[in-house]
Structure 1
Amino acid sequence: MTNNLGRSARPFLRHRLLLVALAALSTHLYAADLLVATPEEYAQAAKAAKPGDTIVLKDGEWRDFDLLLRGRGQTGKPIRLTAQTPGKVVLTGQSRLRLAGRHLEVSNLIFRDGHAPGGEVIAFRRSSTDWAEDSRVTGIVIHGYSKPDRSQSDHWVALYGRNNRFDHSQLSGKTNLGSTLVVVRNETSGLENHHRIDHNWFGPRPNLGSNGGETIRIGTSRDSLSDSRTLVENNWFEHCDGEVEIVSSKSGGNIYRGNVFFESRGSLVLRHGNGNLVERNVFIGNGKPHTGGVRVINRDQVVRDNYFQGLAGDGFAAALTVMAGTRNAPLNRYGQVENAVIERNSFIDVRSVFLGAGTDEERNAAPVGSTIASNLFIGTGKRELLRTLGDLSGIAFRDNVQSPRASGGFPGGVQGREVTLQRAANGLQHPLELEGVGAPRDLQFIARRAVGVDWYPKTAERVALDGGRTLEVAPGEDSLGTALAASGPGDRLQLGAGRYVVTRTLEVAHPVSVVGPTRGTARIAFSRPVLFDLQRGGSLRLARLDIDGALAPDQAGNAVVRIAPGSQATNYELRIEDSRIHGLSVNAGFDLINAGKGSMADLIALHRVEVADVSGAVLSAAAETDDLGTYNAEHVEIDGSRFRRVAGAVVDLYRGGTDESTFGPELIVRDSVFEDAGRGDAALRLRGVQLAVLDGNRFRRSGDVRFSHRVGDPSLLASRNQFAAGGRILADIPVEAIQ
């Protein structure tokens, strides 16, 4: 009986297997994988694509490719676009990607060696009336794909429409104006968009030196009173230093969860919009200047279960900043903090917590109806942790602990006690004795290796000065220029003792050092108006040199180092050490360093330098007079140097406008001598500088130190300075002693 049933079942089973095979064949026929090798082939494939189809770009370089994926897939059967091999399809030149329709998916592409032809590299729309929904872009790398003019704005990723996802991608090296990733909201496509941004590596973004350098911005002030409901989770923000707002939340109902902010200058800022949630994020600063945490503004914000460690930021970039607002604030101003809940967060080895920040004549609405509860506060021990302005009676403090003692400015609800910390396996520290205070013990953070892609490196790719070869250079006419032309990034030109005559301007387009001998002297004379022309991509170190400008012709714009207007030289370093520079007096405006409009230095440093007989300025960094918040140097250091017979200012540093999106400029002058310097103007002219430190300097027969406030909350710290035969500190803010 069993055998008969088995025999009778065999035809049925064969028929069943045939149906399965036909079904598989049908699926293969209707869900095609189509390899395309040219833009024309791609256009034909994209036009014919059906749900479940995959278009595959052939490995290689695709230059100036306007890539549009437009179609309608189905749930579980998206129309896909991908690379033949992850990491081997590179879009270069002026390429871009646009998506429009529903259920689309793009993956495994690289954008580098160029810049977008318009305002976006990747846009989830074709036009203002044709956008993407329920679509995904994943495994994308955008690396250094910046417009050459940093004042030209674009966004690398622009999310439009609804229910879209951007994930497991790597974006690094943006140097021009505009957010790295932006969520664009409008009533046509729906303000409540429910996007998801997750598992991405937002890599190094250098200081922009102006507003518009956010890594993520969600919404605008215009539509900020409505909810976006975007989820930002499990991303890494590493060395994102573009401006004070790493994340600028300008809408409501968003969730920021499980992200890591690693050594990034600035903060996650709840700038506009209400009812946002910030939870279970980890902020690690490792003492890097201006590393911040969360800034709270507006109504119904919740900040809970987060971990903050080693944050050195202050002011608007403190580990926790609760702002004062404006009553009945316009949409573009600061709304009053109402009903904020800040609970169960750990602040460990942080420089500052700032409550009532920004209080002034306009921002005079103190926080109300808010709670700060069950938080752990541990400062650096170098200064008082808490800074307050205005009335804090609208904040209820409950069950908080500060170690080893509570700051005097805290009202009740903060207990001072010694706390012993224990480091967990993931590196986070928790108090042994306290339950329910500080970040949860089960808080985990996303591993760096789990974000981005595994087929493209997560590197900054920035060559350091003296990171390359050492090239020996002998004295002679134009031998220095020949050696510079043959040098590569990071190389060191080691000069022997003797005289070097330079008859052409030396263009510096990569990091390079020019260093004299330890015995004897390398003397450089130049017969052009400019000795070094520092260009985009360049950095320069000069050490143990004697530079004489006596042979330079009488022409406008004379300088030893020029950063020309329009050069787009940004984020460069210029170091001059253990050198003597003199004879810059052929006309009335010969500068040692002239930083032109549009340029931006990370660092200009003069250490143990002797400068004499200069008809212009030692450092002229005052070209940004449009008062838009831009400036020419982030950090200026002068140490152990001597300046004699300088007609102009030794330092002329300017930052105008009222924008609050930047940290600099900063100036430190220590143990230096000024003789007959700036007598007709000022020895130091500092306008809009955010931090100036003057320590142990001597001024003799020299002009004043002139400091004028332009924006923000600047500090002028001065100690052990001596003035003889004229000169004094003139400032429109109080001068504080150095602690």
Structure 2
Amino acid sequence: MLIIKQCKTVLFTLLGLCFVVSANAKEYIVDSEQAFNETVKKLVAGDTIKLANGTYQDFEILFIGKGTKEKPITLTAETKGKVVLSGQSNLRLAGEYLVASGFVFKNGYTPSSAVIEFRRNKKQLAFHSRVSEMVIDNYNNPDKRESDYWVAMYGQYNRFDHNHLVGKRNKGVTLAVRLNTEQSQQNHHKIDHNYFGYRPTFGSNGGETLRIGTSHYSLSNSYTLVENNYFEHTNGEVEIVSVKSGSNTLRGNVFYEARGTLTMRHGNGNIIEENIFIGNGVEHTGGIRVINKDQVIRNNYLEGLTGYRFGSGFTVMNGVPNSPINRYHQVENAKIENNSFINVRHIQLAAGSDAERSAVPINSTMKNNLFFNKSSQPFTLFDDVSGIKFENNTSNTKALSELENGINSQEVSLVRLSNGLLYPATNLPVGAKRDLKVLAKEDTGVSWYEKTSANTAFNSGDIHSVKAGANEFLTAIAQAKSGDVLELLPGNYDIPKLVIINKVLTIKAKEIGNAKITFERSALFEIRDGGSLMLDGIAISGENSPDYSGNSVVRTQKWGMVDNYRFIMRNSSVEDLDINHSFHFFETGKVAFADEIALTNNTFKNITGDIMRLDTELEDLGIYNAEYVNVKGNSFTDVQGSLIKLYRGGSDESTFGPHLLMINNQLSNVGQGKRNKTKASIYLHGVQVTNISDNVVEKSAPITVEHTVGEPVTAITNNTFNATASPKVTELRVKGPHTAVIENNKVN
């Protein structure tokens, strides 16, 4: 078929290949991997190759060519957003002046080390090339511990812009700038106007969103510009951005309710300016962490940040004397100027001070900064800070005596200007500039792909009434959509099958306690990827369960779970988990990770196993099983195992949790069974934040707490222990007495 158009282009179609010939360039449209591979070999400067709209399975795209500045070679979609790459697909580009855009990666994972990679192999890299308007959406290896990048930048003078990356759940950096060869150093890359969406808490090291360099090459300069990107709920670990090279500029970026910090981990001479950090009081929201030499931090705006220690709103670290390249280099010649810290709860100086990290900051300045807090002053000093000169700073709270010569304490009134930021009502010459531009989320990423919320909320869908009976129950589960509520009418529900939870569901009794569930398999519920479960007002009994050891009421899939989940139970009862020994209530699979597990106002009676088993880590690498465990207002009676076994091993300091909150519970005869190897009613190892208060514990095994790394915060207060030994706290890594607060308890 031959068509000649008035614009003097000729359109040919042959064997699934279509191309347009213009005066100086050709446009090809291909609809198969074979056609692409045949066509890409023909491309010359100025040519364009388009993938026809559709879904391509297991398509490893190798885009190679040599364009020019005036005539790049372009790879794009017939219609941007209408080309989906699924299964084990990826994109590699190598050559010069290449442009790729318009694809969506979803429903699969990369078969190689990266989804998008600016190289073919170690010798063939990309230069002066651009990747734009790409979407990578939950494109995760099903093995959460298997590491890969979503984007790996090699070569020099490349640009990554206006892309949408959301939902990375397996190990590895979302976007990594690699400096592992001379051809990739002093690269002058530009990373701009990208939307970095929700990255769930990973539960161990390896969850950074952006990394520039590695410790091995950190004394090399990168000259990467990271500008006008939006980071929303990027919660993977304590380092959202990890700068591990020199001479980079990070400017005009927004960090919105993001847990963690922009960290200058290695490398010297970086510039951090005009960035916006909005925490809105969300726990562990952080700002900037300073390490190494010649760092410049100026004109940044930080508001409503709650993080502390290495995740603080602002942190200046101690270093290691004569530090090896992979540890902490001393802060020297840092310039921290004209920044606004508004309701930033913690500003920590000489942080990390210990026997190893004893090199205090030197030859540094903090001047013309504004500190405003509604209540107490924010500074904590961990060592000598005389090497930081404070000059012409203003605070509305009284400064620490060591800092008061350089911080002017005075009453300050704030007003919110048209850019949405708070400034002094009077024109004080401190803080971030008043015309600071705040990047809008809609100006990042792509316009044709929705920026959806991170998680489906419980009780956000339809309510379905369910009659008593197994068939009715199982049918309702199968037909429900994520967010729906199944309201159980009074009666008995004896369930013969394992109930798979792979959506967000609430199962609620219409009348509290009058919907009774028994089950005939080794478990009642199994939470799998995509699943979260709330139980409300349900009566659960193990009376019909099989006569085996190791049964459970709720479990996660045993291996391979990559999505975080939530489990909540309230106003319910659980009893007679005693058909055999080691009958547990909740049991996690290996590397499964809960954002939240909450038990509220429930009763548990006659149980031969544990209530919550959250201790599958064996390797001691900090791969724990739950971020928040909240236990409030429950009653536990005759439980042979532990109420909680919560374990976080290893020595890494890149995580926030686990957190345990346990208040107003009644424990009677808990933890005394002969198979309870911990000999504890509550066993906590490496838990970072613990608050156990206002509980009554009688005739039970003691509470055992083992502190490891991360300066854990433990408070055991206002409890009553009847015929129960006092809590035991042990420091496993730090010499000296334990740091837990144990007070106002009654021990009878």
What is the TM-score normalised by the length of structure 2? 0.93
Q: 2:137 aligns with which of 143, 147, 158?
A: 143
Higher mean alpha-carbon deviation, 453-462 vs 656-665, is at 453-462
1:477 Cα offset (Å): 3.8
Structure 1's 558 and 84: CA in aligned 2 closer, same or farther, altered over 3 A? same
- Could you tell me which amino acid in structure 2 is paired with residue 735 of structure 1? A
- Could you tell me which amino acid in structure 2 is paired with residue 689 of structure 1? V
1:579 Cα offset (Å): 0.6
1:190 Cα offset (Å): 3.8
Cα-to-partner distance string for 1:55-82 (whole Å, 9 max, x where unaligned):
1111111221111110100111100111
Are residue 159 (structure 1) and residue 153 (structure 2) matched?
yes
Structure 1: how far apart are the matches of 2:601 and 2:401?
43
1:186 Cα offset (Å): 2.3
In structure 1, the partner of 2:169 is 175
Structure 1: how far apart are the matches of 2:155 and 2:116?
14
Structure 1: how far apart are the matches of 2:743 and 2:49?
64
Structure 2: how far apart are the matches of 1:569 and 1:152?
10
SS in 2 for 1:565: coil
Structure 1's 406 and 433: CA in aligned 2 closer, same or farther, altered over 3 A? farther
Higher mean alpha-carbon deviation, 702-711 vs 229-238, is at 702-711
Tell whether the 8 Å contact from 1:386 to 1:410 is kept in structure 2 after alignment: no
1:24 Cα offset (Å): 14
Cα-to-partner distance string for 1:587-642 (whole Å, 9 max, x where unaligned):
22111101121100000000001111111111010111210011000000011111
- Could you tell me which amino acid in structure 1 is paired with residue 488 of structure 2? L
Q: 2:693 aligns with which of 688, 692, 695?
A: 695
Tell whether the 8 Å contact from 1:96 to 1:121 is kept in structure 2 after alignment: yes
Are residue 584 (structure 1) and residue 577 (structure 2) matched?
yes
In structure 1, the partner of 2:363 is 369
In structure 2, the partner of 1:563 is 556
In structure 2, the partner of 1:237 is 231
Identity over aligned residues, as a percent? Answer: 44
Structure 2: how far apart are the matches of 1:477 and 1:629?
41
In structure 1, the partner of 2:460 is 467
Are residue 636 (structure 1) and residue 629 (structure 2) matched?
yes
1:738 Cα offset (Å): 9.4
In structure 2, the partner of 1:111 is 105
1:570 Cα offset (Å): 3.5
SS in 2 for 1:43: helix
Higher mean alpha-carbon deviation, 189-198 vs 404-413, is at 404-413
Structure 1: how far apart are the matches of 2:353 and 2:393?
24
Structure 1: how far apart are the matches of 2:289 and 2:715?
26
1:409 Cα offset (Å): 5.2
- Could you tell me which amino acid in structure 1 is paired with residue 542 of structure 2? G
Structure 1's 633 and 190: CA in aligned 2 closer, same or farther, altered over 3 A? closer
In structure 2, the partner of 1:102 is 96
Structure 1: how far apart are the matches of 2:646 and 2:318?
30
Matches within 5 A, 1:9-158: 28-158=22-152
In structure 1, the partner of 2:450 is 457
Higher mean alpha-carbon deviation, 315-324 vs 397-406, is at 397-406
1:30 Cα offset (Å): 2.2
1:89 Cα offset (Å): 1.1
SS in 2 for 1:256: strand
List gaps (5 residues or longer) in structure 2.
1-6, 12-19, 674-678, 731-737
- Could you tell me which amino acid in structure 2 is paired with residue 70 of structure 1? I
Cα-to-partner distance string for 1:45-104 (whole Å, 9 max, x where unaligned):
211111111111111112211111101001111001111111111111111111110010
Q: 1:684 aligns with which of 682, 685, 689?
A: 682
SS in 1 for 2:475: helix
1:332 Cα offset (Å): 1.1
Structure 2: how far apart are the matches of 1:378 and 1:348?
5
SS in 1 for 2:474: helix
Q: 1:728 aligns with which of 718, 726, 729?
A: 726
SS in 1 for 2:34: helix
Q: 1:529 aligns with which of 505, 522, 527?
A: 522
Aligned structure 1 segments of 4 or more residues deviating by more than 3 angstroms: 21-27
Structure 1's 597 and 59: CA in aligned 2 closer, same or farther, altered over 3 A? same
Cα-to-partner distance string for 1:310-332 (whole Å, 9 max, x where unaligned):
11111111110011110111111
In structure 1, the partner of 2:479 is 486
SS in 2 for 1:112: strand
Structure 1's 554 and 419: CA in aligned 2 closer, same or farther, altered over 3 A? same
SS in 2 for 1:427: coil
Matches within 5 A, 1:228-307: 228-307=222-301
Q: 1:548 aligns with which of 541, 544, 555?
A: 541
Q: 1:610 aligns with which of 592, 603, 628?
A: 603
Structure 2: how far apart are the matches of 1:651 and 1:202?
35
Higher mean alpha-carbon deviation, 519-528 vs 403-412, is at 403-412
Q: 1:716 aligns with which of 703, 714, 717?
A: 714
Structure 2: how far apart are the matches of 1:278 and 1:391?
25
SS in 2 for 1:126: coil
Cα-to-partner distance string for 1:186-241 (whole Å, 9 max, x where unaligned):
23424211110001000111111111111001111000011111000000001101
Structure 1: how far apart are the matches of 2:8 and 2:564?
62
- Could you tell me which amino acid in structure 2 is paired with residue 697 of structure 1? N
What is the TM-score normalised by the length of structure 1? 0.95
Cα-to-partner distance string for 1:645-682 (whole Å, 9 max, x where unaligned):
11111011000000111100000001111111113511
Tell whether the 8 Å contact from 1:538 to 1:569 is kept in structure 2 after alignment: no
Higher mean alpha-carbon deviation, 463-472 vs 653-662, is at 463-472
Structure 1's 124 and 567: CA in aligned 2 closer, same or farther, altered over 3 A? closer
Cα-to-partner distance string for 1:560-597 (whole Å, 9 max, x where unaligned):
10113204053111001001101112222111101121
Tell whether the 8 Å contact from 2:225 to 2:250 is kept in structure 1 after alignment: yes
1:404 Cα offset (Å): 3.1
Tell whether the 8 Å contact from 2:377 to 2:399 is kept in structure 1 after alignment: no
Cα-Cα RMSD: 1.9
1:557 Cα offset (Å): 2.7
Are residue 341 (structure 1) and residue 335 (structure 2) matched?
yes
Cα-to-partner distance string for 1:397-456 (whole Å, 9 max, x where unaligned):
111111132244535201111101111111101112343201111111221111111111
In structure 2, the partner of 1:14 is none
In structure 2, the partner of 1:8 is none
SS in 2 for 1:485: helix
Q: 1:415 aligns with which of 402, 408, 414?
A: 408
- Could you tell me which amino acid in structure 2 is paired with residue 626 of structure 1? E
Are residue 208 (structure 1) and residue 202 (structure 2) matched?
yes
Structure 2: how far apart are the matches of 1:489 and 1:520?
25
Tell whether the 8 Å contact from 2:419 to 2:436 is kept in structure 1 after alignment: no
Structure 1: how far apart are the matches of 2:305 and 2:691?
21
Higher mean alpha-carbon deviation, 514-523 vs 396-405, is at 514-523
In structure 1, the partner of 2:193 is 199
Cα-to-partner distance string for 1:108-160 (whole Å, 9 max, x where unaligned):
11111111111110000001000100000111111111111111111111000
Matches within 5 A, 1:306-345: 306-345=300-339
Tell whether the 8 Å contact from 1:563 to 1:569 is kept in structure 2 after alignment: no
Structure 1: how far apart are the matches of 2:743 and 2:87?
51
Tell whether the 8 Å contact from 1:511 to 1:540 is kept in structure 2 after alignment: yes
Structure 2: how far apart are the matches of 1:122 and 1:380?
45
Tell whether the 8 Å contact from 2:178 to 2:184 is kept in structure 1 after alignment: no
Tell whether the 8 Å contact from 1:206 to 1:241 is kept in structure 2 after alignment: yes
Structure 1's 298 and 461: CA in aligned 2 closer, same or farther, altered over 3 A? closer
Tell whether the 8 Å contact from 1:173 to 1:460 is kept in structure 2 after alignment: no
Structure 1: how far apart are the matches of 2:108 and 2:563?
17
Tell whether the 8 Å contact from 1:404 to 1:419 is kept in structure 2 after alignment: no
Higher mean alpha-carbon deviation, 32-41 vs 588-597, is at 32-41
Structure 1: how far apart are the matches of 2:319 and 2:572?
51
Task: Kindly tell me the number of residue pairs found equivalent between the two proteins.
Answer: 718
SS in 1 for 2:505: strand
SS in 2 for 1:283: strand
Tell whether the 8 Å contact from 1:34 to 1:56 is kept in structure 2 after alignment: yes
